[in-house]
Structure 1
Amino acid sequence: MLRTIWNALCRAIAWIGVRILLCGPVPQHIAIIMDGNRRFADRAGIDRKSGHGFGYDSLIQTLELCLDLGVRYVTVYAFSIDNFARSQEEVSALMELMREKLDLLVSNEGLATAKGIRVCVLGDLTLLPEDVRASANRAMAATKHNSITVLNICVAYTSTQEIVNATREAVKEALGLSSSKSGGSQLTNENDGRNSLKTLDSQITKESIERHLYTAGSPWPDVLIRTSGETRLSNFMLWQACHSHLAFCNVLWPNFSFRHLFWIIFQYQKSYRSLQHHWIKAQSFWIILQYQRSNRSLQHHWHKAQSFQTRQKFG
C-alpha cells in the first residue's frame, strides 16, 4: 500500500517537473555515458551482468522521461572498443545481455515499438559477435520507419576510431574511390583519381568529414551527461560534443532518476544563452574560413586569367 502511494507521488512530482522544464528551452539531443553499472553491482553484492541489467532499466526510464520532454535524439555509450580488454567472462555476459535487450527493445511489447523510437546501433559492428550483430541489424530494420525519437546506441565504439573512419571515407569520396567487394578500394573515375591530389585540400572539409561520422543525420548533442562521478569523456563524441553542456553527475547509472535529469536540464536552461552565443561564434568562424579559402582560389584563377589575356594581347 505504502509503495503504491509512493510510486503515485513520484509520478505526480515527475509530471509537475516535466511541465516546469517545458517552460524553457528543452535540449533536442542528449548524449549519455552510462557509467557505474559494475560499481553498483559490487556494492549491491550481485553479479555484474545483473548490474548491467539494472543499467538497462535505468535507460528505459530515462528514455520515457526524454519522450515526455520532447527530446528528439538520445545517444548512449553502451560499449567501448576498449571494453573488449575486460575478462572474457564479462565481455561474453555483456554481449549476451546486449543481444537480449536489443531484441526486447524492438519486440511487440518493447518501448521502441510502443513509442515510435528508431534504434540506430553505431560503431564498428564487425567487432561484435555474429548473433549480436544480427540483433543490431534486426533492431535497426524493425524501427527504421519510426520517427518520434532516435536512440543511437554506441557499441564497439570510440570517438577517435569514428573520426579516423570518417576521414578515411571522406578521402575516398574526394578521390573518387569506392569499396570493392573484396574489401579494398577502386577508382570510380580514372581522371578524378589521377588529378585528385591537386584538389584534395579543398575537398576535405569539416562538412565532408561530418557526413561520414556514425552520427551523421543527428544534430550535435545539446547536453552530454556522465554518471558515476567521473569527470572525463572517455573517448565519446569528442567531435560532436565540442559545444555541448557537460554534466558530470555523482550517481551510479542504475540509480539515475528524474531528479538528476531535471537538475541537469535546469542547469542547461540557465546556460542556454551562453551556449547559443558560442555556437553562433563557431558557425561564423567556419563561414569566414570557407569564404577566405574560396576567395584565395578565386583570386588565383583571376590572376591566371589576367596573365593569359596579357600574353594574348602582346603575343
Structure 2
Amino acid sequence: MSEDRFKGSNGSDPSQISQSSTLNVLKNLLANTLKSSNCIPKHIGFVMDGNRRYAKKNDLEIKEGHEAGFISMAKILELCYQAGVETTTVFAFSIENFKRTSSEVDQLMNLARNRVKQITENGELAETFGVRVRVIGDLSLLSSEVLEEISDAVEVTKKNKRATLNICFPYTGREEIYHSINKNIKQTLQHKQDKIDEDTLNYNLYTAHLPKLELLIRTSGETRLSDFMLWQVCERGVMIEFLDVLWPDFTPYQMAYILMKYIYKKSVGKPLRNISLGTEYDGEIQTNNNTTNNNNKNNNNNNHNNNNDNNRNDKSCN
C-alpha cells in the first residue's frame, strides 16, 4: 500500500523509489521484530489530532491537512497490523465537529466516505491484512447518502477475521455510554435481563466483544481525552501516550518506539523513560518526560505495583 496511491501521484523519482523501498524494508523488519515479542497490545485507540494545525503550519488548505492526516493513519495502521495488533479504534469525527463551519463539515464527510471506500478496495489495507472495517457512533446523524456509501464499503469486509478497524464517526465517549445505558434500560423493561451493572454496560458498548483497550495514543501535545473511549480507558493497565507531534507528522517509526515501550513495560514491569515524544500516563502513574521532579515518587509507585503488573504480564505476554 503506497503513499502515492493515496495522493494520486503518477510520476516517480528513481531515488525516491529506492529510499522508499529501503524504508519499507526497515519498517517490515521493525514490525516483525515487534510481533515476535508476543506482547503486542491487542487493542489500540488513536485520537488523531493536529490536522488543522498541520495545514496552518505548512500554509495549506484545511482539507489538505485532513488528507495528510489520512495518509499518516494508513501508514500507522499498516505497521500495527503487521506487528500483530488485533484491533484499532480511530477517532475520525467527533459529534462536536458538527459545530464547525458547514464547508469543513462537508469536507470531512466527503473525505470519510471516500477513504472508507478506498481502504476497502482490492489490494488496500482491509484486503491486505484481512481487516474487518466497522463504523461506530451515532449513525443517525449521518445523511442517508453518506450512510449508504459507508455501509456498502463496510459490507465488503464483514467476513475478514484477522483484525478489526473501528472508525468512530460521528462519535463521543459520552454518547457511547448513553447508548449503552439506553439499551440496558430497554432490555430490562423487555425482561431480557434482570439488572443493570458494569458487565451489562460493557456488553452494550460499541466495542463489546472486542479485546480490551490496552494502549491509547493522542497526538498534538494536548493532554486530554477529548471525549474518546471514556469507559474503556478506565480499565486497569491501559497505557496512555500523549505525544507532542501533530498527527500528519506522526511516523511509523515513532509508533514502533511506542510499541517497544509498551512491550518493555509489560515484560519488565516498569516504564522506559528515555524519550521526549510526550507524556505517558498509566493508571495512577503519570510521567512528563521533560520533568524530573516527580521521578522518585513515580519510581516508588512503580515498585509498589510491580507485583501486580508482573501478574498481568504473565497473562498478556505469553
TM-score (norm 2): 0.76
Within the candidate set 26, 42, 50, 1:13 is matched to 26
Superposed, which structure 2 residues align to 1:1-315 within 5 Å? 1-24=14-37, 25-176=39-190, 192=191, 203-242=195-234, 243=236, 244-272=238-266, 274=269, 277=308
Quote the offset at 1:32 in angstroms: 0.5
- Report the Cα distance in structure 1 between the residues aligned to 2:226 and 2:17, rounded to whole angstroms: 39
- Map Cα deviations across residues 239-280 of structure 1 (whole Å, 9 max, x no partner): 111231101112111111122111111111222155893697
**C-alpha contact (below 8 Å) 2:67/2:111 kept by paired residues:** yes
- Report the Cα distance in structure 1 between the residues aligned to 2:84 and 2:128, rounded to whole angstroms: 16
Which one has the largest radius of gyration?
Answer: 1
- Map Cα deviations across residues 169-216 of structure 1 (whole Å, 9 max, x no partner): 11211221xxxxxxxxxxxxxxx59xxxxx96xx11111111111111
- Report the Cα distance in structure 2 between the residues aligned to 1:279 and 1:216, rounded to whole angstroms: 26
Number of aligned residues: 259
Unaligned runs of 5+ in 2: 1-13, 270-281, 283-306, 313-318
Quote the offset at 1:233 in angstroms: 0.6
- Report the Cα distance in structure 2 between the residues aligned to 1:115 and 1:21, rounded to whole angstroms: 16
- Report the Cα distance in structure 1 between the residues aligned to 2:213 and 2:308, rounded to whole angstroms: 16
Unaligned runs of 5+ in 1: 177-191, 194-198, 282-315
In the other structure, the counterpart of 2:287 is none
TM-score (norm 1): 0.77
Structure 1 residue ranges, 4+ long, deviating more than 4 angstroms after superposition: 273-276, 278-281
- Report the Cα distance in structure 2 between the residues aligned to 1:251 and 1:215, rounded to whole angstroms: 27
Aligned in 2, Cα 1:158/1:278: closer, same or farther, shift over 3 Å? farther
Structure with the higher helix share, 1 or 2:
1
Quote the offset at 1:8 in angstroms: 2.7
- Report the Cα distance in structure 1 between the residues aligned to 2:83 and 2:53, rounded to whole angstroms: 29
Instruction: Kindly report the root-mean-square deviation, in angstroms, between the aligned alpha carbons of the 2 structures.
Output: 2.2
Amino acid at match of 1:230: E
Aligned-partner SS, 1:143: coil
**C-alpha contact (below 8 Å) 1:228/1:251 kept by paired residues:** yes
